Amino acid sequence: MLMSDSGNHLLQLSLFVLNIQLCDPRRYDPDFQGPTAKRTCTDVLCCLIFLLFILGYVLLGLLAWAHGDPRKMAYPTDSQGHFCGQKGTPNENKTVLFYFNIFRCTSPSMMLRLQCSTTQICVSRCPERFLTYLDMQFLNKEDKNYWEYYRQFCKAKAKPVETLRDLLISGDCPLAVYPSRPFLQRCIPDLSALNGTWTPGSRMKFEDGSGQTRTMLEFREAANGISDLINARTIGLKLLEDYATSWKWILIGLTVAMALSWTFLILLRFTAGFLFWFFIFGVLGIIGYGIWYCFLEYSSIQQRPQSTFWMYGFGIQRRVNMFFHLKETWFSMMIILSAIEIIIIIVLIFLRTRIQVAIILLQEGSKAISYLPSALIYPVLTFILLSICISYWAVTAVFLATSGVPIFKVMVPAGQCIYEDETCDPEIFPYTNIPKDCPGASCNFAFYGGRSMYHNYILTFQVYNLFAFLWLINFVIALGQCALAGAFASYYWAMKKPDDIPPYPLFTAFGRAVRYHTGSLAFGSLILASVQMFKVIVEYLDRRLKKAQNSAAQFLHCCLQCCFWCLEKMVKFLNRNAYIMIALYGKNFCESTRDAFYLLMRNILKVTVTDEVTYFVLLLGKVLVSGIVGVLAFLLFTERLQIIVDGPTTLNYYWVPFLTLVFGSYMIAHGFFSVYSMCVETIFICFCEDLERNDGSAEKPYFVTPSLHSILTKKRPGPQR
């Protein structure tokens, strides 16, 4: 009982102290005239950790670049570990990889090693006909050209043998060659050449050259095995082809998005009300166009198309083509767009009385930006820094993934061998007992790896690379937010605008943030990066354990996703306001977070009125910019603007540059409108500080403009029931 009473007293005391802190506003300070000039370094320990972490990241990059070789991702590798098609090598003119026995690609171990357990050689072209080794021997007696044709798919020093047993022992030539086509520098069987119009239900049989009878279904399974092996590279190269074809149009589209963003920001200074309604009707019109187009596509598809099989139908291309030829696809997209349209209309109806507040805030933000035009250029600097971080992460990840030396394994073309899949050395392999004990065994390249300490920690290095990337990205964003907050705070606390605004406020605020508050910004970025890293780990575990999940595990995963999403949003909100307080007073991260939280809690009603409404208006602006560019890109890449301009006509997937432009336009608009968002939030924080410090009298005048003061302090009626 005594412990219970003491616990209650402690809880009451904590609530009392918290209530005092929440309700204790700031006092009037005649010496306060904006961001504090006299500062000291904050969160020094975190700054040192951050600098050491960056130093380790640089060393990791150098280590990866010393061991990695990106050519391993660009060129296929034969059984001797040599690249196909690489200049300056014996395989310079042999650009395609040929598989001796494609049926070995159906082995389950193939997906573990990411390599077919059969001999692979580099060739200059793929076979055009079906021919077994025995048939070649019979025909070669009459025409010597058959051996000349067949030997190009054998090893370099191959010689004709008399029996099939000798061929199996030597392993110099394949048992049979099949009509193939080069696909991502690999010879993939062309089923249409084997049997014209083949369908999945057929059972056509043929000899594979070893005396075994094969069916077309087995052949398809083998081809699918290779397809699964290179599917990711297939997509990647086709995407690169599309980007190489459309990169000029992508740059033009991104430039248009930048011009539109700049134009809207300038117009907000003079016609905020008109531009707001232009945002509204523009977004509704673009979504309405999407609904209309989906309805047309839905109406034009009469029935589900027949699923035909063709060689290049493997993998994602076939699924994408089928996806866009289904009535259900366009009907679902039409329903989704209609729901978004209805939600926007409903939100506008409920926020109609608060829109005027957002318009006044945007006008005030426009006035601040007009006095600080350098703020509109700052997103370019942020974009450059983010591009450097992304490029460094991507290059380091590629070099880490390609670190290692060729690893060779014992592979047996037929039968079983106790040495199969063991590591071997191709130079001494012919002198070992393995070829005698296992006829036909060969020492073939399997994968890239190693057993050194460096190779044992490749996965750890990749995790380090990812976490460093998240930390740096969030730090760059935090640095921009703190610099902009300091500049806009200098504008707000100037009694006579623009005369009292200090010179070069953005440059000064940026210098203060780097010199004094690198540790505080790194601390906030570290917290956010940790949350994002946990999200990545949860997603990774979900993908690895997806097949073993039950309903309870899926429910737990959804709960974790929701919790981490809410946590990330909350941390971003608190960090952003903490950076504003750091720019104002120069305190450390924890104190600034506490002060910002208490200030917002003391003005919670004003926060709910201004923050979400302003965010909604700016979101509409971002959607409008990306929507305008997206519609133009869609019409261009689907060849609907040929009368006006000739766009690219050889795209594999038109949606690749289209989605790139939509996403890129949104990010550009987000970069420019985030300046507005930071301006509005800084002005609002300063306004709350202004109300607590001053009372509007001659001795304590407000720094806020009369129009903004009147609309933010006006009491609004509660919600109607």
Would you say residue 474 has pLDDT above 90? yes
pLDDT value of residue 196? 40
Q: What is the dihedral of CA 449, 452, 455, 459, to 10 degrees?
A: 130
pLDDT band at 44 (very low <50, low <70, confident <90, very high): very high
pLDDT band at 177 (very low <50, low <70, confident <90, very high): confident
- Range with the largest mean pLDDT of 115-129, 298-312, 588-602: 588-602
Could you tell me which of 473, 554, 562 has the C-alpha nearest to residue 521? 473
- From residue 633, alpha-carbon distances to 168, 253, 629, 636 in Å are 57, 7, 6, 5
Secondary structure of residue 667 in the 3-state scheme: helix
pLDDT value of residue 717? 37
Q: Average of pLDDT values for 348-360?
A: 74
Provide the β-strand partners of residue 123: 96
Q: Could you tell me where the DSSP H helices lie in 372-457? A: 378-401, 434-437, 453-456
Summarised one tens digit per residue, pLDDT across range 677-703 is 888 888 888 888 888 877 777 777 877
Q: How far apart are CA 565 and CA 568, in angstroms?
A: 5
Secondary structure of residue 661 in the 3-state scheme: helix
Pairing of strands 442-449, 120-123: unpaired
pLDDT band at 600 (very low <50, low <70, confident <90, very high): confident
The one-letter amino acid code at 710 reads S
Q: How far apart are CA 537 and CA 559, in angstroms?
A: 15
Residue with tokens 């409903």: 346
End-to-end Cα, the chain, rounded Å: 45
Q: Could you tell me where the DSSP H helices lie in 493-586? A: 505-516, 518-544, 551-585
Q: Average of pLDDT values for 275-300?
A: 83
For 257, how many CA atoms within 13 A lie in the half-sphere containing its CB?
A: 32
Q: Give the dihedral sign, CA 542/543/544/548.
A: positive
pTM exceeds 0.85, yes or no: no
Q: How far apart are CA 359 and CA 353, in angstroms?
A: 11
Q: Could you tell me where the DSSP H helices lie in 324-457? A: 327-350, 355-371, 378-401, 434-437, 453-456
Let me know if 543 is exposed, middle or buried by CB neighbors in 10 A (0-12, 13-18, 19+): exposed
The one-letter amino acid code at 425 reads D
pLDDT value of residue 2? 37
Q: How far apart are CA 363 and CA 683, in angstroms?
A: 12
Q: What angle do CA 697, 700, 704 make, to 5 degrees?
A: 90
Q: Average of pLDDT values for 439-449?
A: 73
Peptide bond preceding 25: is omega within 30 degrees of 0, i.e. cis? no
Q: Provide the 10 A C-beta neighbour count for residue 185.
A: 17
- From residue 11, alpha-carbon distances to 5, 15, 18, 597 in Å are 10, 6, 10, 21
Q: Which two tokens stand for residue 681?
A: 């939030």
Q: How far apart are CA 150 and CA 147, in angstroms?
A: 5
Secondary structure of residue 177 in the 3-state scheme: strand
Who contacts 684 (Cβ-Cβ below 8 Å, separation ≥6)?
A: 361, 606, 607, 610, 611
Provide the β-strand partners of residue 442: 411
Domain boundaries, the chain: 405-449
Would you say residue 202 has pLDDT above 50? no
Q: Which two tokens stand for residue 174?
A: 């394949």
pLDDT value of residue 112? 36
pLDDT band at 217 (very low <50, low <70, confident <90, very high): low
Q: Which two tokens stand for residue 85?
A: 């098609």
Q: Average of pLDDT values for 60-79?
A: 79
Q: Provide the 10 A C-beta neighbour count for residue 670.
A: 18
Would you say residue 414 has pLDDT above 60? no
Radius of gyration for the chain, computed over Cα atoms and rounded to the nearest angstrom = 33
For 679, how many CA atoms within 13 A lie in the half-sphere containing its CB?
A: 29
Sheet of 442-449, strand order: 423-424, 405-411, 442-449
Q: Identify the helix (H) or strand (E) that includes residue 646.
A: none
Q: Give the dihedral sign, CA 422/427/432/437.
A: positive
Would you say residue 22 has pLDDT above 70? no
Q: How far apart are CA 320 and CA 297, in angstroms?
A: 16
Rounded to 10 deg, the angle between the 216-268 and 272-300 helix axes is: 160
Q: Provide the 10 A C-beta neighbour count for residue 577.
A: 25
Q: Could you tell me where the DSSP H helices lie in 301-326? A: 316-323
Q: How far apart are CA 294 and CA 279, in angstroms?
A: 23
Summarised one tens digit per residue, pLDDT across range 367-376 is 888 788 888 7
Q: Provide the 10 A C-beta neighbour count for residue 321.
A: 12
679 vs 552, higher pLDDT? 679
Would you say residue 444 has pLDDT above 50? yes
| Farthest-apart Cα atoms in the chain, separation | 114
